[in-house]
Structure 1
Amino acid sequence: MFFASDNAGPVHPKVMEALAKANQGFAPGYGADTAMDRVRARLREIFEAPEAAVHLVTTGTAANSLALASLTAPYETIFCSPVAHIHEDECNAPEFFSDGAKLTLVPGGDKMTPEALRSTIAAQGSGIVHHAQRGPVSITQVTERGSVHSLDELQALTAVARDFGLKVHMDGARFTNALVTLGCAPAEMTWKSGIDVLSFGGTKNGLMGVEAVIFFDPEKSWEFELRRKRGAHLLSKHRYLSAQMEAYLADDLWLEMAARANANCARLAGGLRGTEAELLNDPQANIIFAALPRRVHERLKEAGAMYYLQDGPLEDPDGEDMLGCRLVCDWSISEALIDQFVDLAKG
C-alpha cells in the first residue's frame, strides 16, 4: 500500500523492454541517436508544433531549472505560486542554473489568480537599476496541491504575462494526468493557451528517469543545449533516454498510465468518503489531501501503508486528533491494495 509518491512506482514493462532493445550494439551519443530523431518528430506531432525544439534530461529539477534559465537573465525574477515545486522542492536549483535570478511568489494558493499575478508583476519595478527586472511566469500543471488549471484559467494567466511582455513556463511533471482530466489536446493545454516552454514529465508516470523540455518557439533551443551541457545534464549514452521516451509515446502508453493513475485516485477518494476521513481537496488528478484521526493513521501505518503525514508527530496520547496526509496514486497500484487501504481506514 504505497501512496507516498508516484516517483516510487515501477517502470512500465514496455519501457524496460525498450531499454533492453536499446542496449544492443552501438549508437551515437549526446542526443545524436536515431531514436531521438523519432522522439522529436513524435512530440512535434502530438503537440501540433512542427518547429518545436525538443530536448531530454533525466530529472524534473533539471528540466525546470534549465528551461527557466534559458528564459531568465540573472538580474530578473521568476513569478510563481508559493507552493510551486521550483520554490519548495528544488534546493534553489532554478536560482543556481539561472546564475542568480530570484523567485517572486504570487500571493495565494497553489493556483495563481490573474488579479494576484497582475498586481505582483506590476509591483515588481522594471527599468529601475536597483530592482530585479521582470522575468518569466511559471505555472504548475498539476499543482502541488493536486489541482488542475482549466484552459480558461491557463489562458487568463498567460494573458497577464503577455500584457507585460513576459514568457511563460509550465512545470508539467504530472502534465499527462492533467491532460487526461481535461480531455483536451496537448496543444490546447500548452502553446494554444500561451505556454512558451513545457517541462513534459515522464518519471512520475512510469518511466525510469526522463523528462522532455519542449520550446514551442525554438529561439532558445541553442541556449538550452549549452546550459544543459554546462550544467552536466547532457548524457553521453543518450539513447537510453530516447528509448524510454519513445516507448512512453508509442501506442499512447503515456495516456494509458496517467488515466490509470487518475482512476486509481478516484477509487481511493471514493472509498475514503465512506470513512472518517475528511478530504481536504477535490482530487482532480492523482493526488489526495485528507485528514484522518490519529488512531486511524496508526492502524494504517502498522499494516504497512506508506504515505506522508502533513501534520505530526504520529505518536500522541490523543488518538482522536485529525492529522492531514498526502496520498498519491501511480499507474501500477492495484485495486486490491486500494481497497485494502480503505478497509483499514474504515476499521
Structure 2
Amino acid sequence: MLHFASDNWAGAHPAITKSLATHASGYSKPYSDDELDKAVERRFGEIFERDVAVFYVATGTAANSLALSLVGKPGGIVLAHREAHIVVDECGAPEFLSGQLRIATVDGAEGKIDPGRLRKKVESMDGDVHAGRANAISITQATEAGTVYSLEEIDAIAAIAKDFGLPLHMDGARFANALVSLKCTPAEMTWKRGIDMLSFGATKNGCWCAEAVVLFDKTKASDFPYIRKRAAQLFSKSRFISAQFDAYFRDALWLELAHIANTIAADIASAITQTKSGRLIRKPQSNEVFVVFPKSLVASLNEKDVVFYEWPTPANFEIAKDEQLCRFVASFHTTREDVAELSKLLEDWQGQK
C-alpha cells in the first residue's frame, strides 16, 4: 500500500523509539518533576529564546481546548477560521472543557483568517451582552488547507488581538512544517509576532505521542496546572513524553523530519503536474497537497491500494460532478520511491483513458 492519507498514520522515528527505550527502566519522579522533564522545559526555552511554561497533554485537541480554557471568560467567544481544527474536528471539546466558551468563525481565503473580516467581527461584538464577547483569537499554523501564514499575516492578526486586548493562540499541530516553510526561528513565528499560547504538536512529525501547551508569559500560567489536572491530562510518567521531546530536539531532528515531509509533498505535486492527471489547488506550502482528480482516477487509485483522503469541497470552490477534491499528505516516513510508484500509477491511468 502507498500511504498518503495523513502524517498521523506514520510511525515513530527510530531516535524517538530509542530514547523511549533508554528511559523505560529504573525510577523517575512523576508529574513533570524529574530532571529530564526540567531539562526538556529548559530546551523549549532555548528554542523559543525566552523562559516559557510547558505543559504536556495527550492530544492536540486537549492542547487547543485547555489553552483556550485558560483565558476563557463568561460569554466568551473564540474567533477562528471556519475550517480550523477546533471548529470542524474536535467534537466541541473547547466548548465542553472550558464550560463557557463558544467558537465563532471568520472566513478567509486558503484556510487563513482575513484580517479585515476579523476586525469587523470583533467590533460587532463590542459591548453587546446579548451576543457575548470576543475572548480570544486562534490561528492554525500550518492551516487545515495546507497553507502557511506569512510573518506579515500573523502580524496583521496580532495587531487586531492587541487593539482589543485578546489573547492570541496558535494551533501548531504541524508547527515544524510551517517553520521550515517560512525559514524563520520559532521565536519569530510566535511570541515575537504576538502569539500568547501555542499548541505545540510533535506527534505528526515523528513522535509516538508528544503534545504540549507552551505559554510565553509564565506569569499567566499559574492556573494551568489545575485546568490540566481537572481535564485528566496530567501524565504521571511524564518522562516518557520528555524522552520523546529530548530526542526530537536533539541535533535539530524535528526540523530535519519536517523538511523531508515538505520536500516529499513538493515531489507529489510535481508528479501530479507532470502526469497531467489532476489539477492542484495551489502549490504546497507545507506537507499537504490538495488536488482535484477525475472520480475515475480516484477509483483506480483506491483499487490499487493508494491511501489518501477524499476531501470536502470548501465554500466558494467549484468542481465538476465527475471530479473529487483529494488530500495527499507526506510524512518523514514517505519516500521518493513511494512518489515514483504513485507517478507510475498516474501515468498508467493516463495511458488507459
The answer to whether 1:48 aligns with 2:49 is: yes
CA distance in 2, matches of 1:74, 1:44: 32
Q: Report the alpha carbon displacement of residue 113 of structure 1 after superposing the two structures with TM.
A: 1.6
CA distance in 2, matches of 1:339, 1:71: 48
Q: How does 1:242-321 map to 2 (within 5 A)?
A: 242-275=242-275, 276-310=277-311, 321=322
Q: How does 1:174-189 map to 2 (within 5 A)?
A: 174-189=174-189
What per-residue deviation string (whole Å, max 9, x for no partner) do you get for residues 27-76 of structure 1? 011111111111111110010012x1111112100111101100121421
Q: Report the alpha carbon displacement of residue 184 of structure 1 after superposing the two structures with TM.
A: 0.4
Q: Which residue of 2 aligns with 1:315?
A: none
Q: Secondary structure at the match of 1:42?
A: helix
Gap regions ≥5 residues in structure 1? 313-318
> How many residue pairs were aligned?
339
What per-residue deviation string (whole Å, max 9, x for no partner) do you get for residues 111-132 of structure 1? 0121111001001133x43331
Q: Secondary structure at the match of 2:285?
A: coil
The answer to whether 1:227 aligns with 2:234 is: no
What per-residue deviation string (whole Å, max 9, x for no partner) do you get for residues 296-316 of structure 1? 11221111100111269xxxx
TM-score by length of 2: 0.93
Q: Report the alpha carbon displacement of residue 237 of structure 1 after superposing the two structures with TM.
A: 1.0
Q: How does 1:26-175 map to 2 (within 5 A)?
A: 26-50=27-51, 52-109=52-109, 110-126=111-127, 128-175=128-175
Q: Which residue of 2 aligns with 1:216?
A: 216
TM-score by length of 1: 0.95
Give the letter for the 2:23 counterpart.
Answer: A
Give the letter for the 2:33 counterpart.
Answer: A
CA distance in 1, matches of 2:204, 2:293: 26
Give the letter for the 1:77 counterpart.
Answer: I
Q: Which runs of 4+ in 1 moved over 6 A?
A: none
Give the letter for the 1:278 counterpart.
Answer: R
Q: Report the alpha carbon displacement of residue 134 of structure 1 after superposing the two structures with TM.
A: 1.6
The answer to whether 1:16 aligns with 2:26 is: no
Q: Secondary structure at the match of 1:137?
A: strand
Q: Report the alpha carbon displacement of residue 107 of structure 1 after superposing the two structures with TM.
A: 2.4
Q: Secondary structure at the match of 1:135?
A: strand
Q: Which residue of 2 aligns with 1:332?
A: 333
**Identity in percent:** 43
Give the letter for the 2:35 counterpart.
Answer: T
CA distance in 2, matches of 1:342, 1:118: 44
Give the letter for the 2:337 counterpart.
Answer: A
Q: Which residue of 2 aligns with 1:3?
A: 4
Give the letter for the 1:113 counterpart.
Answer: D
CA distance in 2, matches of 1:320, 1:235: 49
CA distance in 2, matches of 1:74, 1:56: 26
Structure 1 range deviating more: 103-112 or 283-292: 103-112
The answer (yes or no) to whether the contact 2:31–2:236 under 8 Å persists in 1 is: yes
Gap regions ≥5 residues in structure 2? 314-319, 349-353
CA distance in 1, matches of 2:278, 2:219: 49
Q: Secondary structure at the match of 2:38?
A: helix
Q: Secondary structure at the match of 1:248?
A: helix
The answer (yes or no) to whether the contact 1:71–1:220 under 8 Å persists in 2 is: no
